[in-house]
Structure 1
Amino acid sequence: MGTREYQGAGGLRLHLDDPLSPEMEKQVARGYLVPVVDASGTDAEAATGADADTPAASSGKPATTAKVDDWRAYAVTLGMSEEDAASATKKDCQEYAQVVEDARDPEGQE
């Protein structure tokens, strides 16, 4: 049992324990998450990686101009059901993400 790094929508980097949960397996199968491979061609270890402190990696939030599929994948990682995400607009996903992020960090609200 180890941890692997995966890259998702908008450069989102996740460190997930093996074996993956059924939900994360679905994300990998659909191509929404892909294992990060280092220069030697092997999976990068989760505890390493200089990108861990970058804003994109720490928040995982797609750019405002990202495609709707990227926003849907991000919303699913935040807890939206795949069924809801499949019919959600980009704005729906952005609003859902904002509500979840605000709930997680109430001090960060303006």
Structure 2
Amino acid sequence: MKYNPGIHHRRSIRLQGYDYSRAGLYFVTICTRDRLCLFGKIQNGKMILNDAGTMIERQWQELINHFEKNKLHEFIVMPNHFHGIIEFPVGVPLVGTQNVFAGTHNVSAGTRDVP
């Protein structure tokens, strides 16, 4: 089912008043458009990555090459989404990190950003 603002009421899970530009550990989730299973499949209880899933995994691991002071923690690629934990130390801006990750995998996958 596609998102319908008349039916679905999205709520922000962000903490009220929290400054998200601060240093800390951040839990990141990126979902595929329309929740399509584009990154692989679950087979016998194990995630089997396809080429797109392998690309997502590689892009996450290469993120550290763009932001050397950041630290990557655990991550998992699922059939239609990705979870990862990234640590931003004091004095390292968060701005741009999501753009590098999202922009790179869109180009690699042969898609384009949609406003």
TM-score, structure 1 normalization? 0.29
- Higher strand proportion: 2
- Higher helix proportion: 1
TM-score, structure 2 normalization? 0.28
